[in-house]
Each structure stands twice: as C-alpha cells, then as structure tokens.
Amino acid sequence: SKVLVTGANGYIAIWVVRRLLEKGYSVRGTVRSESKAEHLRQLFNEYGGKHEVVIVEDITKEGAFDEAVKGVDAIEHTASPFHLHADDPKEFIEPAVKGTLGVLQSALKYGTDVKRIVVTSSCAAILEIPPSPRKFSELDWNQQALKEVEEKGRDALVMNKYRASKTLAEKSAWEFIDENKASIGWDLVVLNPPYVFGPVIHHVPSPEQINTSMAEFYNTLLKGVKEESQLASLGNCWIDVRDLALAHVLAIEKEQAGVNRFIVSGGTFKWQDFVDAAHKAGVYPESALPKGVPGSGYAASVTHLIDYDTSKAARVLGMDKYISKEECTRDCLEDFKKRGW
Ligand code: NDP
C-alpha cells in the first residue's frame, strides 16, 4: 500500500520514508520545492517507482494537499517548523496548525483510500516545566507554553512559541476528528516524541544547516558550547530517530492504535551521558571532545525534572525497547566524521 509523508526532506521524515520503503510500502513524499526533491530521489533511487516526490509549495494554503492525498492508504504528517529563530509566534503556529488541518481536510475530501493518519506531534505538546520532578503521560497537555505566548506574544521564550505551535496543532487535529466523526473513513494516531537524536540522512551540506535537535547534539559534543560543569545537570528525554521512524511504521500498522496519542521516549539523559558515550566510541580523539565529570550524569544525586510514562506505546504499538545512548552516539559521530565535520 501507499503512504504519504509530508515534509519528506526533514530529519525525521526521511527516516520514516526509508523505513516504509524497506518494509515494502510505496511512498509519496511532499517537499516545498523542486530543489529539495533531488536528494530524496538520489537516496531512494533503488526503489524506482515505489518512491515519488511531489511539490506542495505552501502547506498553509487551502486545499494544498488535495492532490497529494489521492490514492494513498495512510498519511504521516511531519511537516512543521522546528527552528528557534522567529519573533512572531505566528511563524510557528500558522504552518503547524494550518498544515495539520489542511492535511486532514484534504484527506476528508479526496482521501478515499485513506485508513489511518499519523501526526508527528511532540512532547512539547505535553510537558510543562514542573517545580519538582514529574512523570508525564498522554493525559497531560502543555498549557504553560500557550499561556506564555498568549500573555507575552513576541517576547515569549522562542522554545515556548514552538511548543505552543505543537500544542495548538495537535489540539486542532483532535477537534477536527471530533467535529467530523460522522463523515471520516479513517482514524488518527498522534506520536509525541521528546528530543530526537541519531544519524542524519537528510540533505545537510554543512553543520550550520543541521536541524534543530541535532544542532544541539553536534554543538554540545564537538563544539563545546556547554559549560563542562553543566553537562551533568542539563538534560531532558530523548529518542533515537530510527526508533521514532519505526514507531511511525507501527502507528499505521497497528489497528488498535487508532484514536490515541502515544509518548515514545527512550528515557532521560544528561548531556554528560552522551559525552561519556562519545569518549567510549573512540571515533574522535579525546582532545576533540568535552570531558565534564565522567559518569556524573548517572550519579544517584542527579535529578530529572521531566520523565514520561511510555507504557501505552509499549503495550499498543509494541515499542518496548529503544536504541541506547552508546549506539546513537557512535553512529552519529561516525557519520559526522565521514562528512569531514
Ligand atoms: P526538520 O526541520 O528537519 O524538518 C521539518 C520539515 O517540516 C521539513 O520538511 C520542512 O521543510 C518542513 N517545514 C518546516 N516549516 C515549514 C513550513 N512553514 N511550511 C512547510 N513545511 C515546513 O525537523 P524535524 O525532522 O526535527 O521535525 C519533524 C517533525 O517532528 C516536526 O513536526 C517537529 O515538530 C517534530 N518533532 C521533532 C523533534 C526533534 O527533536 N527533532 C522532537 C519532537 C517532535 P523545509 O525543509 O522546506 O523547511
């Protein structure tokens, strides 16, 4: 069967495309311009007619996906702005919300074969910065970022503008489903990943052009942007991009997953853990890496403010094991090295 992947040239999406093709699906990817199609076509050349790329110039335009949804059996909607350099919250919110609703609307009108739509949301739509350590679940919604953006507008933290866009986009998807229950022939699955790290296979000509989450990974491990004394205190939760791609495949395959959001997370990290893994990997010389205090990220005294209950994804999707920090770090560093970075 055929799957539509929006924003197919993105860091996560291109892994989703790869996993789908490997599993025998036909894939139609959308990108914003012809120049962004080239790398995809080269990378997946061996799949011949099973891989196609179509141009959707502006995902906020009404009917933008009308043509793209025709003849596909499932949709993975990943396209959404994830950068940290815009003043106006609308620059995040409009493409996030209108893009998501646009996909759903086009699927309602022209997606006669569509059975499942998967939306790549984020833990950004779930987490709030808690006063003390807290474990979040699919029942939680990020009200904090929305409130800050409502109150402060352009002066809100840029990360919260992004988080608000993800929250509003996901909420609008669930509202759409609710309002159109009677007329839709498909169901919705939402995936909520935390920070995504792992090898880069999308088109990134220089480290300065790398996507937001991998920029932090690269800059922390190889550019020493973080104070060494902070490496064991700064962290969050994370998932390897290859696990997230697998979750996207399972999300269209598991019948019983419908009408659910799923947190998919490999667990907590402190940056020190990835630094330690980088030393262990032996890909770059010691002198190229920060040191910090080896092992201190795993010390009993270390607290993780945010963690997630991932039991629902384990139970329903079968996401019960995750790639380790060691494997992720080694594979990323080998890739950076090959690129001469
Ligand atoms: P990338 O920046 O690598 O990819 C984003 C994709 O969305 C690209 O195809 C990009 O197109 C497209 N896009 C961005 N803004 C617009 C816009 N205004 N109009 C149309 N298309 C747009 O990011 P990721 O792969 O990291 O992110 C993919 C999805 O995963 C997003 O929904 C993101 O919110 C979510 N996510 C990411 C996490 C992470 O840590 N990376 C964590 C949790 C969720 P173009 O290349 O043309 O700009």
pLDDT of 278-321, one tens digit each?
999 999 999 999 999 999 999 999 999 999 999 999 999 999 99
β-bridge mates for residue 263, sequence order: 192
pLDDT (0 to 100) of residue 15: 99
CA atoms within 13 A on the CB side of 206: 1
Calpha distance 69→28 (Å, rounded): 9
**Would 171 be classed as within a structural domain?**
yes
**Pocket lining: 265 vs ligand 1, CB cutoff 6 Å:** no
Q: What confidence tens digit (pLDDT) does each residue in 157-207 have?
A: 999 999 999 999 999 999 999 999 999 999 999 999 999 999 999 999 999
Residue 183's CATH number? 3.40.50.720
Does 91 fall in a domain?
A: yes
Question: Is 302 a member of any domain?
Answer: no
Distance (Å, rounded) from C-alpha 105 to C-alpha 98?
Answer: 10
Distance CA(162)–CA(123), nearest Å, equals: 11
17 is in which domain, residue-wise? 2-198+240-265+307-321
Strands 187-192 and 235-240, sheet pairing: unpaired
10-59 pLDDT, tens digit each: 999 999 999 999 999 999 999 999 999 999 999 999 999 999 999 999 99
Nearest alpha-carbon partner for 21 in 76, 82, 78: 76
**Exposure b/e, 95-123, CB count within 10 A at least 16 = b:** bbbbbbbbbbbbbbebbebbbbbbbbbbb
Is residue 341, in this structure, part of any structural domain at all?
no
Q: Is 198 in the pocket of ligand 1 (CB under 6 A)?
A: no
Residue 228 falls inside a structural domain:
no
Q: What is the pLDDT of residue 289?
A: 98
Average pLDDT of the chain, as a whole number: 98
Q: Is residue 102 in a domain?
A: yes
Looking at the structure of the chain, the number of domains it has is 1
User: Is 221 touching ligand 1 by the criterion CB < 6 Å?
Assistant: no
Q: Which atom of ligand 1 is nearest to the CA of 32?
A: 47
CA distances from 100 to 58, 64, 195 (A): 12, 11, 21
ipTM over 0.95: yes
Ligand 1 centre from 238 Cα, in Å?
17
In this structure, is residue 51 part of a structural domain? yes
Q: Could you count the other beta carbons within 10 Å of the beta carbon of residue 320? A: 10
Proportion of the chain above pLDDT 70, given as a percent: 100
Binning pLDDT at 50, 70 and 90, where does residue 211 land? Answer: very high
Testing ligand 1's pocket by substitution, the residue of 19, 60, 78 carrying the most ligand atoms inside 8 A of its CB is 78
Phi, psi of 202 (to 5 degrees): -85, 175
The per-residue pLDDT for range 117-141, each reduced to its tens digit, is 999 999 999 999 999 999 999 999 9
The predicted pLDDT at position 2 comes to 98
- Cα dihedral 226, 232, 237, 243, rounded to 10, equals 80
Does the beta carbon of 10 lie inside 6 Å of ligand 1?
Answer: yes
Minimum-distance ligand 1 atom for the alpha carbon of 33: 47
Ligand 1 centroid vs 237 CA: distance in angstroms?
A: 19
CA of 182 relative to ligand 1 center, distance in Å: 31
C-alpha angle 203-204-206 in degrees, rounded to nearest 5: 155
Q: What is the DSSP letter of 62?
A: T
257 within a domain of the structure (yes/no):
yes
Cα-to-centroid distance, 298 and ligand 1 (Å):
31
